[in-house]
Amino acid sequence: MGVPTLAPHVRLRHDAARDQYVLLGPETVAVLNGTSAAILRLCDGQRSVAEIIAELRGTYEHVAEDDVRGFLSRMAARHYVEITDG
């Protein structure tokens, strides 16, 4: 798995009115939990998945590699994330 980045049509925003993180697309609003938002904030087109996992481990106690990879694959399948060869 290579380098993930947010798809060009989506924006990651903090929704102040509801105090939650959301991914915005032209017709969609995906509400994110804290962990999902933490992963997506690191999807900057620079860091590899391995680097993202390492960085999450600096902040969170239990980071299961398979969970992060699985989450990113699901986000890619929904066109929210693009994964390029790093």
Q: Are 12 and 23 in contact (CB under 8 A)?
A: yes
Q: Residue 22 or 42: which CB sits closer to other proteins?
A: 22
Q: Residue 49 or 53: which CB sits closer to other proteins?
A: 49
Q: Residue 12 or 56: which CB sits closer to other proteins?
A: 12
Angle made by CA atoms 86, 39, 30, in degrees to the nearest 5: 115
Q: Rounded to whole angstroms, how far apart are CA atoms 66 and 39?
A: 13
Taking CB under 8 A as the rule, does residue 18 contact other proteins? Answer: yes
- Tell me which residues in 40-79 interact with other proteins (CB under 8 A): 79
Q: How many CB atoms lie within 10 A of CB 60?
A: 11
Which span (25-33, 38-46, 50-58, 64-72) binds other proteins, by CB under 8 A? 25-33
